[in-house]
Amino acid sequence: MTDSTAPPARLRVLAAMSGGVDSAVAAARAAEAGHDVTGVHLALSANPQSFRTGARGCCTLEDSRDARRAADVIGIPFYVWDLAERFRADVVDDFVAEYEAGRTPNPCLRCNEKIKFAALLDKALALGFDAVCTGHYATVVRRADGTRELHRASDVAKDQSYVLGVLDDRQLAHAMFPLGDTRATKEEIRAEAERRGLAVAKKPDSHDICFIADGDTQGFLASRLGTAEGDIVDEEGEKVGSHSGAYGFTIGQRKGLRIGRPAPDRKPRYVLDISPVDNTVTVGPAEALNVTALTAIRPRWCGTAPSGPGRYTAQLRAHGAETPVTAEPAGGELRVTFHEPVRGVAPGQAVVLYDGTRVVGSATIASTVRAQGANR
Question: Looking at residue 59, what is its pLDDT?
Answer: 64
Give the separation between CA 353 and CA 334, rounded to whole angstroms: 10
Question: Looking at residue 53, what is its pLDDT?
Answer: 46
Give me the DSSP letters along 256-297: T--BSS--TT----EEEEEETTTTEEEEE-GGGG-EEEEEEE
Question: Looking at residue 204, what is its pLDDT?
Answer: 83
Give the separation between CA 351 and CA 333, rounded to whole angstroms: 12
Question: Looking at residue 60, what is its pLDDT?
Answer: 74
Strands (E), 105-189: 131-133, 138-142, 148-152, 175-176
Q: Contact at 8 Å (CB) between 293 and 338?
A: yes
Report the range out of 140-144, 206-210, 284-288, 325-329 with the highest average pLDDT.
Answer: 325-329
Q: Is 21 helix (H, G, I), strand (E, B) or coil?
A: helix
Q: Which CATH number among 3.40.50.10860, 3.40.190.10, 3.50.40.10, 3.40.50.620 corresponds to the domain 2-202?
A: 3.40.50.620
Tell me the percentage of the chain whose pLDDT exceeds 70. Answer: 92
Mean pLDDT of the chain: 89
Out of 147-161, 257-271, 291-305, pick the least confident. Answer: 257-271
Out of 220-234, 247-261, 276-290, 333-347, pick the least confident. Answer: 247-261
| Buried/exposed code over 127-156 (b: 16+ C-beta within 10 A; e: otherwise) | eebbbbbbbbbbbbbbeeeeebbbbbbbbe
Q: Where are the domains of the chain?
A: 2-202, 227-288, 290-370
Report the range out of 194-208, 209-223, 305-319 with the highest average pLDDT.
Answer: 305-319
Catalytic site includes residue 133: no
User: What is the per-residue pLDDT across 314-350, written as a single tens digit (0 to 9) for each?
Assistant: 999 988 899 999 999 999 999 999 999 999 899 999 9
Question: Which one from 59, 108, 210, 302 is the annotated catalytic residue?
Answer: 210
Q: Could you say which DSSP state residue 205 is in?
A: P
Give me the DSSP letters along 86-119: HHIIIIIHHHHHHHHTT----HHHHHIIIIIIII
pLDDT band for position 266 (cuts 50, 70, 90): confident
Question: Looking at residue 376, what is its pLDDT?
Answer: 55
Task: Provide CB contacts within 8 A for 79, sequence distance 6+.
Answer: 38, 39, 40, 41
Question: Looking at residue 4, what is its pLDDT?
Answer: 45
Give the separation between CA 70 and CA 346, rounded to whole angstroms: 39
Catalytic site includes residue 59: no
pLDDT band for position 207 (cuts 50, 70, 90): low
Question: Looking at residue 243, what is its pLDDT?
Answer: 92
pTM of the model: 0.90
* Torsion of Cα atoms, 150 then 151 then 154 then 157, to 10°: 110
- Please give the backbone phi and psi of residue 49, each rounded to the nearest 5 degrees, phi first: -70, -10
User: What is the per-residue pLDDT across 36-92, written as a single tens digit (0 to 9) for each?
Assistant: 999 999 998 766 554 444 434 456 778 899 999 999 999 999 999 999 999 999 999
Out of 71-75, 129-133, 141-145, pick the least confident. Answer: 141-145
Higher pLDDT, 58 or 12: 12
Q: What number is the average pLDDT over the span 3-18?
A: 77
Give the separation between CA 58 and CA 47, rounded to whole angstroms: 14
Question: Looking at residue 98, what is its pLDDT?
Answer: 95
Answer yes or no: is pLDDT of 129 > 50. Answer: yes
Q: Is 354 helix (H, G, I), strand (E, B) or coil?
A: strand
Give the separation between CA 195 and CA 118, rounded to whole angstroms: 33
Task: Provide CB contacts within 8 A for 12, sequence distance 6+.
Answer: 35, 36, 38, 128, 129, 130, 131
Question: Which one from 58, 108, 111, 133 is the annotated catalytic residue?
Answer: 111
Sheet holding 78-82: strands in order across? 78-82, 36-43, 12-16, 131-133, 175-176
Instruction: Measure CA of the first residue to CA of the last residue in the chain; give whole Å.
Output: 42
pLDDT band for position 8 (cuts 50, 70, 90): low
CATH 2.30.30.280 fits 227-288, yes or no: yes
* CATH superfamily of this structure's domain 290-370: Translation factors (2.40.30.10)
